[in-house]
Structure formats: C-alpha cells, structure tokens
Amino acid sequence: MKLWRIKIRIFVVIKNVIMYKVRVILDVEEDVIRTIAVNEYETLEKLHIEIASAFGFDGQEMASFYTSDNGWNQGEEIPLFNMSESDFGLSMTTCIINEILPHQNDKLIYVYDFLQMWTFYVEVVEKSDEKISENKIILAVGKVPDEAPNKVFESDKISSDFDEDFNDPFNDFENIDDLDLDNL
C-alpha cells in the first residue's frame, strides 16, 4: 500500500511541472541569442550543459552562474562545483532552476570558460504549463564568433587621499641601496 502512495506522489509532481523559457544572450557585438525550454526542476548544472550545447561548446570548461538584479549587476557566484570547505556550499548541482529563478524576468549572468570569458545574460522570459518531454532550443539567432571578445576589467578610481593620509617614512629614497640600515 505504501508503494502505491509513492507512485501517486511522483505522478502528481510530474503532472504539475512548469516549463521555463529561458532567453540566453551572448555578450558579443552581433546578436547571438538562444531561447531554451527547460523543466523547472532541472539543476543549474543541467542548464549549464544546455546553454553550452546551444552555443556550440562541449560543456567541459569551468563555468559559473552569478545572481543578478534587473540592471545586470553581478551578485553571488554559483560555481560548477562546490568550492567551499564545507559540504554545504552553493554549486550548480545543488541549485534547482525554480528556486534560483522563481519569477518571470529573473536574471543570471553565466560565464563559461574562465580563460576565454564567454559571458551570457540569462533571463526567464516565460513560465507556462506547456508540457515538454525534454529540454530544447526553441529560438536560435546569430552565429557564435570564433573567438571570445576581449574583456576590459575596470575598477573604481581610488582616491589619492590615501596617499596623503599615509605617512611612509621610507618613501624618501628611490633605491633600497641608498638606505643606511646601520644607523637606524
């Protein structure tokens, strides 16, 4: 009798699956866009594989998702593998799509291959009760360039007030050989 109840619960879960339409935009000059239909209960690891495949990559490089706000500001990292010293850190294998992206228009930034820095903008464009048997690409626009674009990493300008406030007594010489260490 207990086995029968388990089967019914599994059926109910499968019956109420929501399909997510996820728009993925490659950060390059020309438009390169893929819209992928995925099951809401898939892991981010599965979404990583789907995105990599949709853009012609083999999925074997390191990658991370980053939470993002509506302005596409990079937030918390969700790495491919748990990098924390405890077993409770975030990773793509432990994050379910509907928990990380619970609402339409929720966003992630996806970085694939940290040497090439392919960067993608990921957004839930639609949630529906439409049934899908497997994840699939439902829209493909543009061709992926042969090489990743060069990324420019900039930081905020640090104020020169720091130099004025920091009184370094050893800043009066150009060469360490000029320092008289015997008479300190």
Strands (E), the chain: 19-26, 33-39, 63-68, 74-79, 107-112, 118-128, 136-141
Stated pTM of the model: 0.73
The confidence score (pLDDT) of residue 82 equals 83
- pLDDT, tens only, 70-114: 999 999 999 998 877 676 778 999 999 999 999 999 999 999 999
Mean pLDDT computed over every residue of the chain: 83
- pLDDT, tens only, 22-65: 999 999 999 999 999 999 999 999 999 999 999 999 989 999 99
What is the Cα Rg of the chain in Å? Answer: 24
Class in CATH terms, 17-149: alpha beta
Q: Any idea where the domains of the chain sit in the sequence? A: 17-149
